[in-house]
Structure 1
Amino acid sequence: MSSIYFQYLNDIAKYPLLSREQEKMLIERSSKGDRIALNLLVKSNLKFVVNIANLYKGQGLDVSELINEGNMGLIEAAKRFDPNQKIKFISYAVWWIRQNITRAISEKARLVRISAEKELVLRRFNRLGSKTRQVVGGQMTIDPESLSEASRYKGKAIENILMMGNRAASLDSPVSEDGEMTLGDCIADSGERSDALALQKNQTQKIANLLQESLTDQENKVIGLYYGLDVDADLNLKEIGTMVGLSKERVRQVKENALAKLRTSEVGRIIGHAA
């Protein structure tokens, strides 16, 4: 661990844990817009964030990144917490802390996976090129028929690949006349084919992005909690209500409205096509 980490621990140790009465007072004041009370409420709970962040070490983010993400979740919880709720603030905040951390880990893993997949396809293209070269007129050139046999697309796609010559080609470069097919799509997978799980993850990510576009923040949150998109397990309406500060009936209404939107959106078409 770095000296910066230990210095941070020393800094936050200056803020003592709050008594139940102190916590209640700060929550009531912060709910009325008192920024000083909000700041003190957050600082007094930073040690909890460190404890939670350490549970996620070794999953792609260093401890400082985990703590930063957890702190953002703590701040969000402090802003949203209803002083009339009959649970301790930290019990409510833990969910927000964990959500921010796990979401950051998932995003990092997604970016790493995409980068690795692109490198894999590029190496495969280079290997195919080296295996399909032939000598014509004293010069080394690529045999179109051999490249066609090694890839999953023919004709115009092969012509466009060959036109790229020896220059570095972007994996996003179009190789079909309609522009919808890219170089990355054309390279055949010989033993390194992505399995069904990778395809499912890509589909899930696409649906998650569309949810962000199709629903309000409140609807997106309720759907994410109800179907387990944002947490490890799906929650019931009452549990969701506690998290977002709504009644059980109001949560049900928000869920139904969101589902009605999704049925007519691209999300509904994706799910229907996959069913």
Structure 2
Amino acid sequence: MSNITSNALDVYFDELQRFSQLLSKQEEYDTAVAAANGDKAARDTMIQSNLRLVLMVAKKYQNYSLDWAEIIQEGNTGLMHAVDKFDPERGCRFSTYAVWWIRNNIEQYIMNHSRTIRIPIHVTRVYKQILKASSELGLDVDTNEGITKIAQELKISPRKVLNILGHYFNEGSLDKEIHSGDNLLATLKDLVAAEVDCQPDIRYEKCDYYEYMDALLEYLPVRSQNIIRLRFGFKGQDPMSLQAIAQLMDISRERVRQIIRNGLSQVREQLCANDLVKEDFDFEADAILPQLCD
């Protein structure tokens, strides 16, 4: 697909209505199999039938200072990667798989074009979580006590907090004042913390994490899926303890623990098998996954 310019957006939307026809589950499977076997027409069909998915994801980012047309184009590139990587034999619907690629491509583009020095997206996400925790708890990131309490709040190590802050302290103090003429507007810390609150789609929210995890769980046996979903607390549900799950499933607590560990191990294998970017998953997993088996 050729590059989309802002002036061509209306034309693009018209073409979207003409060519982006949704496929049934069977049509999607047949087309995906043909595309995986090198059928260029089938690949084009997979792309065209999912352009609306790109638009749906891209709409969440249209308020950024970047060209929305470029954001859509980045989403389209992510869609193409998803088509090329998708394995229809896994039993997962393509849209579930493609959303991660589309969102990741868009967020990488935003991060790379919003900063002079490029910092990995997963580092920026956790950095914003650190600033939000600092603001909400009234803690100073310049003190050992503040670092320790923030680490406890985010369930990561103090060393990890320091490492992430190190990426940003090299560029300027968080307390650097932002002026407009003679008027003090805010500090850098204030602006970034406000960005976290006003632009929730760019931060690494647990709902995005769970959505991606939910797609990966489809590769597991049904019982393993259900147990892990209960332990995580998917779709707004409260996470359940190992003992509560054991009673619900009528198995031992130790068996629940084993199923969770084995299931998460298989999920990690899928990350590698599908050649996905692991850093977002692994970074958050460092804080969350150990708790699931305690």
TM class, shorter-chain normalised? 0.3 to 0.5
Higher RCO (CA < 8 A, seq sep 6+) = 2
Q: Please tell me whether Structure 1 or Structure 2 has the larger radius of gyration of its CA atoms.
A: 1
TM superposition score normalised by structure 1: 0.45
